[in-house]
Structure 1
Amino acid sequence: MAVRKEKDKTYTLDFYYVDKISGVRKRFKKRGFKTVREAKEWQSNNRIDVELPTHEKLIFYFEKYSQSLECNNETKKGNKQVLKKYASDLLEMEYYKISKPMLLDWRNQLNNTKLSTKTKNRIIGLIKAIFRYANKIYDLYDTSVILDRFKKPLEEIKEYSIWEVEEFNKFIDCIDSYTCKAYFTLLYYTGMRRSEAKALLKSDISKDMKVTINKSMRHGADSVKKPKTKGSIRTIDIDKDTYAILSPLIDSEGQYLFGDLEPVGASTFERAFKEGIKTSGVKKIRMHDLRHSHATLLINSGADIVAVSKRLGHSDINMTLGIYTHLLERKNVELIKIIDKMHKKVKSSAKVVPKNNKTL
């Protein structure tokens, strides 16, 4: 208890609290109260909070933060595993003992690992998210404000390999299996994730050419789960040509769009994809690059980046901006060229002011 009785029968107010500005744990002591009630009233009137729950370890706040997330259990487990591997010491420390210099030292250690910049920033993002949660919910000081994300070095910045429409057509003409042909076409013309397409039921495709995406599947039917984020749940339009290719599958027996009572195995699609590349002679790309191809073609055609982000099912537009920054920078160069042409048109159409006219 924050109030204790002294030998002289007076009461002392004695407790620890965390300074909200510095984040430092301090001790407060005031003597001479005649009763416990008087001490508590003084504390209440002066708005001095008793010790906040900073004695809890950082992992306590991580668990609370994790419970608040709207994502599947697999993602939560992945977050916990990566933190236990690269931030285990921090997780086992009491919250108030984690100082800014300590976090900077940890960041330096993380920087010395062979992880990609993307993975390092994911870990830093998790740590910052835990501190923000503790600050928002428990009113604790956020020491992680000192942490900056790493800048991606030039050698890690690369453009994704994509197929232009002509390349995709050359590839798809070499696919013998109708189911595989429809699967690859859907990926290319919707930007859908492979796991999302595999999990589609025939009932997910409506007659007004819309597809509802609300689940994913890595392997067989027993691995069906909710999408990674809330933003992944979406309904998108499909073009009439793609719908026409899907129609025979929709009208066939069974519940799965790509399959019947059971979905087609991932290895079947992988094998067909590699054979199609080999037979057609197009450049090698990953199957996931069909998604990048779709996004790139839309952005290069002038599609709104917000609409593209929603179509891809990204959690927020910043993810889309981060992935396709190189395309947007190219767009900026094109914008300047357009502005230069505008200036030239204005100069060429400008009227000459007569010499006897006076300017105001």
Structure 2
Amino acid sequence: MIAKDEKRNTWYVQVKIKDPLTGKWHTHKKRGFATKREAKQYESSLSTSDEIPTSKTFLQIAHEWEISIQSSPASIRQHNEHFKMRFADLKDRQLRSITRSDLILWRNELSQSDFATKTKNVTLTYVRAVFQYAADVYGYPNPARTLKNLKRTDQEVMQEMQVWTPEEFNSFLACVDNPLYRAYFDALYWTGMRRGEAIALQCSDLSDGWINIHASQRDASTGLKPTKTKAARKIQIDDALNDELMALKKAYKAGYLFGGESALSPTQISRIFNAAIKQSGVKKIRLHDLRHSHATWLINHGVNIVAVSKRLGHSSIEQTLKTYTHLLESTDNEMMKIINNSKNGSTMVPR
């Protein structure tokens, strides 16, 4: 069947095909044809092509999925690492032979493994994406639909999002000898930038006490990419940080703000970060927690949550509210103090 998708103003092909492995019929649907002629050509080619592969393995289909979403080399390495470490028993099997019961048993085993829940859920996300791609492109039944994310343990909830006070951060920073990395960490703590956004900053992005954040970079192999939300933003910085960063801009003149001709290495950043934590004796946190520390400091000092969300570059205010709900709840007592003080004060209008 060939029909027009009025919503997208394109054509699609839908046919029923018998699976030679199971003998069952399933529907194959492919969208996105610009003209009816293209859709007809595709439909006629199905009878002579291997458009509905039944012998491809999970990894082969995964590779097609990566191409379809234009995965970077770094992302492909990450996908493969997840499949190798946590999907090893099923990754080389024909995708059509992997049943729902296989996946449920695998998820149960994954839930009992020693990996962090966040890591397990990332693997689940990748596996679901591959099966969904096979369903969308080849019309395969999708047994992965029932795979739900795992819940974090109580210990993980308590350990997540550790933050430093300015005093703790200064103790840490005093143990970073390299001025370039000291400025990098200072920028993360006092702006809330994502680490990749700070790595990607160019000298031209700093001007008149403002930073233009429009790109991100994981490592040298990936180069500059859009930010996580695909949106640019400008944030204002304090005078002390501006002076520190302007000194770097004058030294390098062009290129990366942190490094000039070449960007900072994530591996070296982590090494210096962890060494300074150990030397200073402050509690151990993740590098990403410098961002949480900044947001926590702002909220605890009464900064409007909308302003915090905009500064962090969140895609929506709902994301900020969800991430920092625990801090907002703690402000209830402060709110009641203000109300009580107001009612008990001399400015209260008598009834």
What TM-score comes out, normalization by structure 1 length? 0.65
Gap runs ≥5 in structure 2: 1-15, 27-42, 44-48
Give the aligned residue type for 2:295.
A
Question: Residue 5 of structure 2 corresponds to which residue in structure 1?
Answer: none
Aligned ranges for residues 243-322 of structure 1 at < 5 Å?
243-255=242-254, 256-262=256-262, 267=268, 271=272, 274=275, 278=279, 283=283, 285-301=285-301, 311-312=311-312
Mapped contact 1:171–1:276 kept (Cα < 8 A): yes
Question: Residue 166 of structure 2 corresponds to which residue in structure 1?
Answer: 165
Question: Residue 188 of structure 1 corresponds to which residue in structure 2?
Answer: 189
Instruction: Determine what percentage of the aligned residue pairs are the same residue.
Output: 31
Question: Residue 201 of structure 1 corresponds to which residue in structure 2?
Answer: 202
Distance apart, 1:329 and its partner CA: 3.6
Give the aligned residue type for 1:243.
N
Distance of aligned partners of 1:71 and 1:317 in 2 relative to their CA distance in 1, 3 Å threshold: farther
In 1, Cα distance between the equivalents of 2:309 and 2:246?
27
Residues 310-356 of structure 1: per-residue CA shift (max 9 Å, x gap):
6546788898677x3xx41452464599589989x99xx9xx9xxxx
Aligned ranges for residues 7-18 of structure 1 at < 5 Å?
16-17=17-18
Matched, 1:90 2:87: no
Question: Residue 328 of structure 2 corresponds to which residue in structure 1?
Answer: 331
Distance apart, 1:234 and its partner CA: 3.3
In 2, Cα distance between the equivalents of 1:66 and 1:96?
19
Moved more, 245-254 or 331-340: 331-340
3-state DSSP class of the match of 1:211? Answer: strand
Distance apart, 1:304 and its partner CA: 6.9
Question: Residue 46 of structure 2 corresponds to which residue in structure 1?
Answer: none
**Higher Rg:** 1
Mapped contact 2:248–2:257 kept (Cα < 8 A): yes
In 2, Cα distance between the equivalents of 1:278 and 1:130?
44
In 2, Cα distance between the equivalents of 1:51 and 1:254?
56
Residues 204-233 of structure 1: per-residue CA shift (max 9 Å, x gap):
223461223424254xxx556234865266
Residues 87-145 of structure 1: per-residue CA shift (max 9 Å, x gap):
24433333433322121112122223221111111111111112222333334332212
Mapped contact 1:231–1:313 kept (Cα < 8 A): yes
Give the aligned residue type for 1:249.
L
Mapped contact 1:216–1:226 kept (Cα < 8 A): yes
In 1, Cα distance between the equivalents of 2:127 and 2:317?
22
In 2, Cα distance between the equivalents of 1:200 and 1:267?
17
Distance apart, 1:170 and its partner CA: 5.6
Question: Residue 105 of structure 1 corresponds to which residue in structure 2?
Answer: 105
Q: How many residues align?
A: 303
3-state DSSP class of the match of 2:24? Answer: strand
Distance apart, 1:283 and its partner CA: 4.8
Question: Residue 55 of structure 1 corresponds to which residue in structure 2?
Answer: 54
Question: Residue 237 of structure 1 corresponds to which residue in structure 2?
Answer: 235
Distance of aligned partners of 1:329 and 1:291 in 2 relative to their CA distance in 1, 3 Å threshold: closer
Moved more, 164-173 or 76-85: 164-173
Distance of aligned partners of 1:337 and 1:295 in 2 relative to their CA distance in 1, 3 Å threshold: closer
Distance of aligned partners of 1:314 and 1:232 in 2 relative to their CA distance in 1, 3 Å threshold: farther
Mapped contact 2:103–2:144 kept (Cα < 8 A): yes
What TM-score comes out, normalization by structure 2 length? 0.66
Mapped contact 2:273–2:287 kept (Cα < 8 A): no
In 1, Cα distance between the equivalents of 2:306 and 2:135?
31
Mapped contact 2:192–2:291 kept (Cα < 8 A): yes
In 1, Cα distance between the equivalents of 2:131 and 2:317?
23
Give the aligned residue type for 2:131.
F
Mapped contact 1:215–1:224 kept (Cα < 8 A): no
In 1, Cα distance between the equivalents of 2:316 and 2:166?
27
Mapped contact 1:232–1:314 kept (Cα < 8 A): no
Distance apart, 1:186 and its partner CA: 0.8
In 2, Cα distance between the equivalents of 1:307 and 1:107?
40
Distance of aligned partners of 1:333 and 1:51 in 2 relative to their CA distance in 1, 3 Å threshold: farther
Mapped contact 1:124–1:149 kept (Cα < 8 A): yes
Give the aligned residue type for 1:92.
D
Distance of aligned partners of 1:299 and 1:227 in 2 relative to their CA distance in 1, 3 Å threshold: farther
Compute the RMSD of aligned alpha carbons: 4.5
Mapped contact 1:16–1:25 kept (Cα < 8 A): no
Distance of aligned partners of 1:320 and 1:85 in 2 relative to their CA distance in 1, 3 Å threshold: farther
Distance apart, 1:293 and its partner CA: 0.8
In 1, Cα distance between the equivalents of 2:174 and 2:253?
26
